[in-house]
């Protein structure tokens, strides 16, 4: 199943977005069911405050969420969308989820629910009484989780494709929520402000706290002296789909703005954002996100992490004997070689002298001595331990080894 990971501040509106996302996903022709995984389903005996009360409880919560996500995406139904509705604020945890999707060969994406910390506090305090005890956080715990939040970065392979939906009030700019998330986080390790193009917003300019990045100087404090761009800001990145929201029910849509120069004023950035981002509803924005996500490529597991089936001892013994015989046969055939291809016997015994199908016409681009053939045979036997041939008959093993030699002797 394709997996979509929601991330954002606690009480930022992720659950509301996930419910709307389920309704819009079921209207897609390629989606028949939507599975939403959250703390309530993974840890039914705990409240959200208890799930993150201590480091041990948080570790158990993440383990339960990861196990539920792994079980969901491991099924064979390709028409079911898995939505992980949780904080997912640790980049290492998002990497583990990416590896699970990669092992299953499924699509994987990040949906960043943006909001302001002040709005999050109000929404957390104003929850209805019937759900407040179950889903709300204490004020101290809320501040700690916001401080520890590690914003996603689409330069990381486990954070892309990345989409963002801003559910902050209309008085804020689309870049302000990103700026606020980066500024509040203590994990801005890779010049994320430049990557998110938030270095030119009014919040950064008006921030009274000193904030100087390696090799750069703030334009607000250095007059006409312009900051030096880092390697990250010069790198080309794919645009990230974002959205601006007047409220949680009606969310505006915008494409992520790539800042061309850091000396642009905050008003110019705000006006550019307004011109490039026509207002859309939350439903329309999620439709665009689903269309882009479902058309993305499925992850493919690398050869280094694939589980290979080891060959049995009997097969390895046969391969060792057959390849040794073939090396001797090829050496003998070379001495009688008069041009064209070498006729190498695939099987040993009476059958090899009675049928022409028991011979293999081996292409021979160059002469190879006995030491080189023995070295190539050892390499092949070592490789075939984890990559046994599909046909383990004498003829199949011999053909596979000769094709390997043909490929190696071309270089």
Asked if the structure places residue 301 within a domain, the reply is: no
Number of domains in the chain: 2
Same domain, 319 and 267: no
Q: What are phi and psi of 276, to 5 degrees?
A: -90, 0
Same domain, 169 and 57: yes
| Token output for 322 | 């057959």
Same domain, 127 and 195: yes
Asked if the structure places residue 404 within a domain, the reply is: yes
Residue 188 confidence (pLDDT)? 61
Tell me the CATH number at 246: 3.40.50.300
Same domain, 342 and 282: no
Same domain, 241 and 117: yes
Same domain, 186 and 277: yes
Residue 68 confidence (pLDDT)? 96
The answer to whether 362 touches 341, Cβ cutoff 8 Å, is yes
Tally Cβ neighbours within 10 Å of residue 300: 9
* pLDDT tens-digit map of 259-304: 333 333 333 323 323 333 447 888 999 999 999 999 998 888 776 6
DSSP secondary structure code for residue 237 in this structure: -
Asked if the structure places residue 263 within a domain, the reply is: yes
Asked if the structure places residue 300 within a domain, the reply is: no
The band of 249, judged by pLDDT with boundaries at 50, 70 and 90, is very low
Asked if the structure places residue 346 within a domain, the reply is: yes
Asked if the structure places residue 306 within a domain, the reply is: no
Q: What is the distance between the alpha carbons of residues 349 and 169, in angstroms, rounded to a whole number?
A: 84
Same domain, 163 and 221: yes
Domain that holds residue 10: 3-294
Residue % of the chain over a pLDDT of 90: 39
Asked if the structure places residue 303 within a domain, the reply is: no
Same domain, 7 and 80: yes
DSSP secondary structure code for residue 99 in this structure: H
Strands 342-345 and 359-362, bridge-based pairing? antiparallel
Q: What is the distance between the alpha carbons of residues 272 and 175, in angstroms, rounded to a whole number?
A: 11
Last residue of a domain, one of 294, 326, 349: 294
Q: Cα–Cα distances in Å, from 210 out to 205, 207, 213, 349, 373? A: 11, 8, 10, 84, 67
* pLDDT tens-digit map of 184-230: 776 665 566 666 554 433 333 333 333 333 333 333 334 444 444 33
Same domain, 132 and 281: yes
| Residue 149: burial class (beta carbons within 10 Å; 0-12, 13-18, 19+) | buried
In the chain, DSSP finds a helix count (H) and a strand count (E) of: 18, 9
3-state DSSP: the chain helix, strand, coil percent, rounded to 5? 45, 10, 45
* pLDDT tens-digit map of 348-361: 754 444 444 577 88
The answer to whether 179 touches 216, Cβ cutoff 8 Å, is no
Same domain, 232 and 353: no
Same domain, 248 and 341: no
Asked if the structure places residue 302 within a domain, the reply is: no
Same domain, 287 and 385: no
């Amino acid at each position: 199943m394709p997996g979509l990971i929601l991330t954002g501040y606690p009480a930022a509106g992720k659950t509301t977005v996930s419910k709307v996302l389920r309704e819009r996903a079921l209207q897609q022709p390629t989606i028949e069911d939507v599975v939403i995984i959250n703390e309530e389903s993974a840890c039914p005996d705990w409240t959200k405050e208890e799930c993150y009360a201590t480091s041990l409880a948080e570790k158990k919560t993440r383990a339960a969420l990861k196990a539920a996500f792994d079980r969901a995406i491991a099924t064979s139904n390709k028409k079911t969308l898995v939505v992980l509705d949780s904080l997912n604020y640790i980049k290492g945890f998002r990497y583990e989820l990416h590896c699970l999707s990669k092992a299953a060969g499924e699509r994987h994406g990040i949906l960043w629910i943006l909001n302001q910390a002040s709005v999050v506090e109000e929404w957390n305090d104003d929850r209805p009484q019937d759900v407040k005890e179950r889903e709300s956080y204490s004020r101290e715990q809320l501040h700690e989780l916001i401080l520890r939040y590690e914003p996603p970065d689409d330069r990381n392979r486990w954070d892309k494709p990345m989409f963002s939906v801003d559910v902050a009030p209309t008085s804020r700019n689309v870049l302000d929520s990103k700026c606020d998330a980066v500024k509040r986080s203590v994990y801005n390790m890779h010049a994320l402000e430049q990557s998110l193009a938030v270095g030119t917003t009014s919040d950064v300019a008006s921030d009274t706290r000193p904030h100087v990045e390696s090799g750069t100087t703030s334009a607000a404090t250095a007059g006409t002296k312009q900051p030096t761009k880092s390697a990250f800001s010069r790198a080309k990145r794919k645009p990230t789909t974002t959205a601006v929201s007047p409220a949680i029910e009606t969310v505006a849509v915008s494409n992520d703005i790539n800042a061309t120069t850091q000396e642009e004023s905050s008003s110019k950035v705000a006006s550019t954002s307004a011109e490039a981002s026509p207002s859309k509803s939350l439903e329309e924005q999620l439709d665009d996100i689903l269309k882009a996500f479902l058309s993305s490529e499925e992850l493919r597991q690398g050869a280094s992490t694939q589980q290979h089936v080891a060959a049995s001892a009997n097969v390895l013994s046969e391969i060792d004997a057959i390849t040794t015989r073939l090396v001797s046969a090829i050496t003998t055939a070379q001495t009688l070689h008069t041009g064209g291809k070498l006729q190498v016997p695939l099987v040993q015994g009476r059958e090899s002298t009675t049928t022409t199908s028991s011979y293999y016409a081996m292409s021979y681009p160059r002469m190879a001595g006995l030491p080189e053939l023995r070295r190539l045979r050892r390499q092949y036997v070592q490789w075939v331990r984890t990559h046994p041939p599909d046909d383990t008959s004498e003829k199949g093993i011999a053909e596979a080894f000769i094709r390997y030699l043909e490929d190696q002797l071309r270089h």
